[in-house]
Structure 1
Amino acid sequence: MSYWEDKWFKNYDFAVIGGGIVGCFTALKLIQERPNARIAIFERGLFPSGASTKNAGFACYGSLTELESDRKHLNDDDVKALVKLRYDGLHLLRNTLEDKEISYQENGGFELFMKPPDEIETRINKMNALLYPIFKENVFSQENKRIESNGFAKNKLSTLLKNKFEGSIDTGKMMWSLHEKVRKKGIALFTSTNIENFKEQRNSIVLEVQSELGLIEIKTKKLAICTNAFSKKWFPKGDINPGRGMVLITKPISNLKINGCFHYHQGYHYFRNIDNRVLIGGGRQLDMEKENTSVFGINDNIKKVLIDDLKNYILPNTPFEIEKEWSGIMAFGANKLPLVKRYSSRIVVGIRLGGMGVAIGSIVGNKTAEILLEEL
């Protein structure tokens, strides 16, 4: 390497591994608090590798049935704390990037039911009461008339619930805007840069990068690890379980009526209208053994179910073609709370977002930076 490369590219005050939502917000918080610091983000892919640019772009808090399921495992205070985390995270995202920079639309989140749910009004009232301290309004309401107005199979769907506070974003535009903001703040952003290992020394941390020039060692005083499920390679015994989510998108459909973000099967399945196409994804609960993986790919059995759902419930009597398919990798743990903790005096991890990266990635990044800045 040249003298100039050694001088300018190999030494930092803070390094962040992972160039997705969490990594970018970690770096932005660090530069806000330490404006003269040298900060670098290292992303192993040409684009963010996990789910930051591969998710469906839902700005959501959790469907009724998903939150009811959470109440079986968490007390009410913990459920509220979980929703409040998502609420605060989405507001932080929107305050950091203007709505136009992420194409945010508060067009509502909707949950579909195939069979009439038992005591649905009672359940809505209970959940609204639980969440009222956060939203200051009722969150859920029943709006069955939207089944027909969205063009769904009204003879096969019984009930539709609305969360008026949910919305959608353009995931790619969000990450483009975040990367642009990071660069404007003077933060170095390296893509296609795979950190193969890191070693703590007395006064620094050495990051090992394999390149066309051979092994390059980069030094940093402090390190944030924001690689979500891919952190498992460094913390094999940690409560970090990868989960693959797949997404399909149709070719453009004329006169597509769908408006909003839709969930069903306790939030495991979801779809939306994007550019007059139907984006549909999820279904990993149908084959958890195969989908608990950090390997990208398409599960043909799940794909068939999603396509059948399009035919039978979402686009009845409407011809469609699948144009593109992809997958993203998420991280889950024993509970739904993210894992933000100190690994050592110089290293902090901000990972395990539980499939809610759009909602909580910003606040997880901020918290990661705050811990890293603490003086021990």
Structure 2
Amino acid sequence: MDVSYWELKNWFANVDYTVVGSGIVGLHAALHLRERFPESKILILEKGALPEGASTKNAGFACFGSLSEIIEDLRNYSEEEVVQLIQKRWNGLNLLRKRLSDAAIDFKPYGGYEVFLKEDESTYAECLQKLPFINEILRPLFKSDVFAKEVDRFDFKGIHEYLIFNPFEGQIDTGNMMQALLKEAVTNNILILNRQTVTDYHDSGSGVQVNTTDFSFTSKKLLFATNGFADKLTQGEVRPARAQVLITEPIPNLDIKGTFHIDGGYYYFRNIDNRILLGGGRNLDFEGEATSEFGLTEKIQNRLEQLLSEVILPNTEYKIAHRWSGIMGLGSHKKPIIEQLSENVCCGVRLGGMGVAIGSLVGQELADLV
């Protein structure tokens, strides 16, 4: 690359910390590094024009797990591990709100609901039966009951009588959140370069040579915050998982407010700007959606539209305004990977589809590794 003396001096000389990825984790890591090392030179490299992955693509759920998801987690992890995971998500949400303010992220405490389709009889019955037990194990953390039965007041169709309501869940404006984080980074003299893909790196012990598609430079420390794109970095411990989403045109007199989970969280919807945003469906094709390529499939989009017309808005006319996809980072365990890869290289990845909840905390813990 034809780099000038001025570019070398201002961007690539004497770099203390290089963060790869300008999503929720990367920006929080950089901001926490600035708090710890006020005089340091911090550079963020982002491969997309905007933060790629899920940070600007997610549905904006300020949640920590639906009742059926928590019950399912208890089949795979100990009670202590599940409670610790929920506590991390709750602490992360509070950290995000504290750093940026509820006004900046447009936080709305409408609560969250779990909706059970008529055909999902077994999950519905199990959730009603285990609801008191889950409230009991979460009471030390939340100081009150988290889940309660509520009769459907939204005029959904093809569902069981009761919804499960969670008053601690809320929603945010994802775009506002990311813009607020980017402004914080710029205000704190953190350099961000977009359209830069890290192709390789070498930790010499005294520093890290970072190679991108356009140039090479040396950084004292290198931090990866690439989540769904971290499969090679972690030798397969992180798998990409695509999530497909659609949103309607504005709907007059829309009375649906809140965040909603269906089918163990594999489908989710919410209100935003008098529209319905609906996403999910990767359970229809786990193998096909285990990809880091953005895109839409007819099978999943048809199912989303079916849920919209038959369950969510059965008596309402609507038009689809837009569709998109995002890339999450999943793995064999729901606990994030925050670890050293070598003496001067570390990573904070595998957010398990809970980036809004735990991204800020993972970023802070990643910064604390150096």
Structure 2: distance between partners of 1:198 and 1:172: 31
2:155 counterpart residue number: 151
2:4 aligned to which of 2, 5, 9:
2
1:135 aligned to which of 126, 130, 142:
142
SS in 2 for 1:143: strand
Deviations 1:137-181, CA, capped at 9 Å, x for gaps: 10000111xx23x2322x644220100000000001100000000
Alignment pair present for 1:325 and 2:323: yes
Alignment pair present for 1:360 and 2:325: no
1:343 counterpart residue number: 341
Judge conservation of contact 1:252–1:277 (CA < 8 Å) in 2. yes
In the TM superposition, residue 320 of structure 1 has moved relative to its aligned partner by: 1.2
1:167 counterpart residue number: 170
In the TM superposition, residue 122 of structure 1 has moved relative to its aligned partner by: 3.5
Alignment pair present for 1:224 and 2:223: yes
- Code of the residue aligned with 1:300 in structure 2: it is E
Structure 2: distance between partners of 1:52 and 1:285: 21
2:261 counterpart residue number: 263
Change (3 A) 1:371 1:312: same
Structure 2: distance between partners of 1:102 and 1:335: 29
Structure 1: distance between partners of 2:307 and 2:45: 39
Alignment pair present for 1:42 and 2:41: no
In the TM superposition, residue 114 of structure 1 has moved relative to its aligned partner by: 2.0
Structure 2: distance between partners of 1:121 and 1:292: 32
In the TM superposition, residue 234 of structure 1 has moved relative to its aligned partner by: 3.5
Judge conservation of contact 1:157–1:313 (CA < 8 Å) in 2. no
Structure 2: distance between partners of 1:2 and 1:317: 62
Give the TM-score normalised by structure 1.
0.94
Judge conservation of contact 1:151–1:258 (CA < 8 Å) in 2. no
5+ unaligned residues in a row in structure 1: which ranges? none
SS in 1 for 2:368: helix
Deviations 1:28-84, CA, capped at 9 Å, x for gaps: 111101001000111111111100000000000100000000000111000100100
Structure 2: distance between partners of 1:331 and 1:355: 7
In the TM superposition, residue 191 of structure 1 has moved relative to its aligned partner by: 1.4
SS in 2 for 1:232: coil
2:114 aligned to which of 89, 111, 114:
111
1:273 aligned to which of 262, 271, 274:
271
1:78 counterpart residue number: 81
Judge conservation of contact 2:205–2:343 (CA < 8 Å) in 1. no
SS in 1 for 2:369: helix
Give the number of equivalent residue pairs.
363
- Code of the residue aligned with 1:152 in structure 2: it is F
Percent identical: 42
Structure 1: distance between partners of 2:129 and 2:285: 32
2:301 counterpart residue number: 303
Alignment pair present for 1:101 and 2:100: no
Give the TM-score normalised by structure 2.
0.96
Deviations 1:176-214, CA, capped at 9 Å, x for gaps: 000000110111111122222212224221111223xxx
Q: How does 1:156-195 map to 2 (within 5 A)?
A: 156-195=159-198
**Cα-Cα RMSD:** 1.2
Structure 2: distance between partners of 1:184 and 1:99: 19
In the TM superposition, residue 22 of structure 1 has moved relative to its aligned partner by: 0.2
Alignment pair present for 1:31 and 2:34: yes
